[in-house]
Amino acid sequence: MENFLEQMAELFEVDSVNLQDEVIAFDAWDSLTGLSIIALADDEYGITITVNDILEAKTIQGLYALFNQKK
């Protein structure tokens, strides 16, 4: 979990993130950041997700669940 939060902070270009933070509310949220999340999911979690999956996950917590559920 801690590692995941650090990765999200890196991609959203902030010092730290909270579980309830909304994905699209980050200043750094754009289509390239979406692609970065997709690439991270593929590279390090071995899962294939889409931009829609990310939008539906809504929050950091939702992304965490997505990363650890869809196998």
Partner 1 sequence: MLFNPVSLLDKRYLITGAASGLGKATSILLSKLGAELILVDIDEEGLNDTSKMCSSNVIKVIINLYDISDLKAKIIDSVSKFGKLNGFVHLAGRPYISPLKSINEKTTTEVFMLNTYVGIELAKICTNRKIFAGESGSLVFISSVYGLVGSAANVGYAMSKSALHGVTKSLAIELAPKNIRVNCIAPGFIKTNMLQKISDSFNSEYNDTLTKLHPLGLGEADDVANSVAFLLSDMSKWITGSIMSVDGGFTAQ
Largest separation between any pair of C-alpha atoms in the chain? 30
Site membership for partner 1, residue 16 (CB under 8 A): no
Nearer to partner 1 by Cβ, of 20 and 40: the residue is 40
Structure token pair of residue 56: 């539906």
Site membership for partner 1, residue 36 (CB under 8 A): yes
Q: What DSSP state is assigned to residue 28? A: T
**CA 43, CA 26: separation in Å to the nearest integer?**
23
Site membership for partner 1, residue 35 (CB under 8 A): yes
Nearer to partner 1 by Cβ, of 2 and 43: the residue is 43
Binding footprint of partner 1 on the chain (CB under 8 A): 10-11, 13, 32-33, 35-40, 43-44, 48-52
